[in-house]
Copies of this chain bind each other. A is one copy, B any other.
Amino acid sequence: MKRNRVSIKDISKALGLSNTTISFILNGKAEEMRISAQVTERVLAYVKEVGYTPNYLARGLVTGKTNTIGFIVENIGNPFFSQIASLIEEQAYKGGYKIIYSSTNGQSDKALELIRMFRDRGVDGYIICPTEKLEEEISQLKEENRPVVLFDRFLPAIDSHYIGIDNEQAMYEACKHLVERNRKNIALITTDSRQTQMISRLEGYKRLIKERKLNEYILSIPYENRKERLQSDFEDFIKKYPKLDGICFATNYLAVGGLEVMRNLGLKIPSKIAVVAFDDNEVLRLFQPGITAVEQPLEEMAKLIIDRLLVDLKLGKSAEKTIHKEIPTRLIVRESTGN
């Protein structure tokens, strides 16, 4: 299987040099080690000729580095995650790193298992969209000086790097936009999750409602069976509150499912109910009418995440000061909020 692969030993034997010399040259330490230009040249030429490539496993065993980043998302099938994955991959690639990814589907036990698996495989750093109950494991990573960046949501109990958006403000502005479009009875459709990003969005909604002295209408859909529950619970909710004239969906799949329900009910958007969604995507853009949405700056997030991780990776450990960055979002106004 790998017998045909050339190793450093083969090269040193063929050229009558030592492994050390070959290794130094291969790692660009020729000058530093003051190896003669001729030798260097001869080795490089031979390496090229036989098409040698290093065995990263062996290198990793010695150096403890694999140039791999473990990337843990909730579900790679969700467009938010797949798009940011695509951008992160691109950025990581530029920095010489590869990505191993896996999805937790929101389950803590799966997440825990993944972190451990990644560790056993010697990934150099972690990008994690955390589930609940990961505090201990992530603290441990930090203690072991393994760089970690959380994104999308964070764990309040522990001090670690976090890149996300300003969820509270984003939702506040989304709802404010509805008020400005003369909506008085604004509902928030959210999940029952205790994740920080969802809580912040809820708070943004509440702040606006309180500030404007409006009535609060909140529907919380359990993550389990979310598809069916969204159908039934949301329909009941709408029927229960016929006065509703504005709706904010707190995350992408709620908007997609909710819009379908609204269409089936024959609710006119925006004349009867104005709609704002969180997390822009093609569905919202092409929906008729186009749906006003909070856009997350994916590219910027991806860049910040990788930059932060690369710095720590170079340091060989997490920076003393953890960063906690909440990027502002942009509200893309479309027809669903009238004019």
- The chain A residues found within 8 Å of chain B, CB to CB, are 1-2, 4, 53-58, 60-61, 64, 66, 68, 75-79, 81-83, 85-87, 89-90, 93, 98-103, 116-117, 119-122, 144-146, 256, 259-260, 263, 282-283, 285-288, 316
Determine which of B55, B68, B77, B145 lies in contact with A1 in the assembled complex, contact meaning CB atoms within 8 Å.
B145
CA distance A270 to B89 in the complex (A): 40
Q: Assembly of this chain: how many copies?
A: 2
A2 — which chain B residues lie within 8 A by C-beta?
Answer: 64, 144
Contact of B93 with A86 in the complex, beta carbons under 8 Å:
no
Task: State the Cβ distance, A317 to closest chain B Cβ, in Å.
Answer: 8
Contact of B85 with A121 in the complex, beta carbons under 8 Å:
no
A4 — which chain B residues lie within 8 A by C-beta?
Answer: 144
A66 — which chain B residues lie within 8 A by C-beta?
Answer: 57, 121
Determine which of B81, B103, B120 lies in contact with A55 in the assembled complex, contact meaning CB atoms within 8 Å.
B120
A144 — which chain B residues lie within 8 A by C-beta?
Answer: 1-2, 4
A64 — which chain B residues lie within 8 A by C-beta?
Answer: 1-2
Determine which of B86, B256, B286 lies in contact with A77 in the assembled complex, contact meaning CB atoms within 8 Å.
B86
Contact of B283 with A53 in the complex, beta carbons under 8 Å:
no
A288 — which chain B residues lie within 8 A by C-beta?
Answer: 263, 287-288
Known interface pairs A77-B86, A98-B121; 6 further A-B residue pairs with C-beta atoms within 8 A, sorted by A's residue number: A1-B64, A57-B61, A57-B122, A66-B121, A100-B100, A287-B288
